[in-house]
Chain A
Amino acid sequence: MNRKKVRRFLITTHFLFVCITVSHLYELINWKPMSVLMELYSSVSYTNRNFGFFAPTVNDDFNLKIRAFRKDDQNGHDFLFYMPDSENRIRFSTMLWHFAEGNSPSQMDLYARSWAIYCMNKDSTIHKVVVSVYKNNIPMMNQCRIGKKISQALYYQTSFDTK
């Protein structure tokens, strides 16, 4: 009997958390102990999250270009990433979405620093790295009909030097 009660309590609590999260009710409740508890539960179980993928709008797409320079090299070369299949490419793009998430300059700087260190670790002769992230501007359908194509705009740029 007790086991049954515990099971029912756990199922009820679980779905209460899920419903409160997906319905954004936690924003209305705004009670810190509960939001902390729900956040902890979400970070472990991944059951109570906002599941609105590509909702309400489809986000922008980004490209990462890294120009690497060796010592006394004026022109530099493109640092290329090996992404053999669609799954790896999607992971790479997801990283760029997370980079731009919330448009936080400190987060972007952290990511850019990480990419620069990655390049310098892969090739120890690299002396300087210029990290550029481009946003793909996708034209609307009516713009496309009058000949507008996908264009790229510089979204973020920084450079790192080895001392």
Chain B
Amino acid sequence: MKNRLNKIVGSIFGFIEVEKPLYPLLFFRLGLSLICFGKFFVLYSNYLNFYGQYGLIQWTISKLSNYSFLPHIGDFAFLSSKYFHLSADKSAELILQLFFCTCVFLFLGLFTRVVSIICFFLHLTFINTGNGIIYGVDVFTQLSLFYAMFFPLSSAWSLDALIGISKIKEKSVAAGISIRVIQIQLCIVYLSTGIEKCFGEQWLNGEAIWRTLMMPIFKNYNFYWISDFPYIPYFLGIIVLIIELGYAFFMWQKNIRGFWLFLIISLHFNIGLLMGMWYFAFIMIFLSVFAFGDDVISDINCYKLNRVLKRINAVPGTS
């Protein structure tokens, strides 16, 4: 019994602890830092309205609805007013500037480990302060920053490697674990969201797609005409369910995952285009490309190699 259990554990971790190239981690570091930077750059004009002491959701309210140990801009403001005599708004702006700096450092790969930890805590601070305005993009950015703290991001073409803090590697088990962890996380995310959608009648009769397209907040185009063709939203709803449910299974199939990656990218691109949720679309596409991009590239290379070999074998006298 114990031997059997050991065998199962061994095969599970044999799957997770696999050697993989590090270049996807460079993509992860660059992409994540750009998304973090861009997300707050867009909100810059409204920063104090969303995160300020007397913004739309005031600090007393956001502080109340959280665990007291979680970081909050109000805590920093209290300390900075006590020791540096800064106003609450100035402290909030200082936190944002610090966050922008950490994003630049993360992009360059300078003091990567420390910077990713600071970036994680600053982003957590923003989420807790602006807990009345968070949606999917914040959840997945925080999730990515959480993983970034443990990933060997400095081993992939970073300034850390240039100045000798870390060593550049072509392949490593740590990189393999990093990729596997995101792959598993994404499969769980898509499978669970697909199953939950199946429980709602709206996704099975097309009303979910119809409502989403008609919601005034997402209404970038006029879709009234679609009510005359109810099979279009019905068909689109089923397609969404198939893509999300199939993600957990088909992304592991060598010949299909390239197509499924294309489907998931198309799904999120359309979310960006039709609903205007571009940053949510970016982070989801970014995570899927990071997780399965290398596997898809390997599949394509393998396919090309097989074609070349077939051609060589087809030429008489070459086999």
Contact = CB atoms under 8 A, between A and B. Distances in A.
A43 B188 CA distance: 18
Contact of A58 (B133, B208, B228): B208
Contacts of A43: 66-67, 70
Interface string B66-99: 1100100000000000000000000000000000
B192 A52 contact: yes
Cβ-closest 8 pairs across A and B: A56-B200, A86-B276, A52-B196, A55-B196, A144-B227, A22-B192, A46-B142, A55-B197
Given A57-B201, A61-B215, 6 more contacts: A55-B197, A57-B202, A61-B216, A85-B42, A86-B220, A142-B227
Interface of B: 9, 13, 16, 39, 42-43, 45-46, 49-50, 54-58, 61, 66-67, 70, 124, 127, 131-136, 139-140, 142-143, 146-147, 177, 181, 184-185, 188-189, 192-193, 196-203, 206-208, 210-212, 214-217, 220, 224, 226-228, 230, 233, 276-279
Given A8-B13, A55-B197, A138-B211, A84 B45 contact: yes
B63 to A, nearest CB: 12
B43 A141 contact: no
Contact of A11 (B67, B131, B181): B181
Given A55-B203, A95-B132, A118 B56 contact: yes
Interface in A32-50: 40, 43-47, 49-50
A68 to B, nearest CB: 15
A58 to B, nearest CB: 4
A141 B227 contact: yes
B146 A61 contact: no
Interface string A142-154: 1011000010000
Given A19-B188, A82-B46, A49 B56 contact: no
A18 B186 CA distance: 11
A77 interface: no
B183 to A, nearest CB: 12
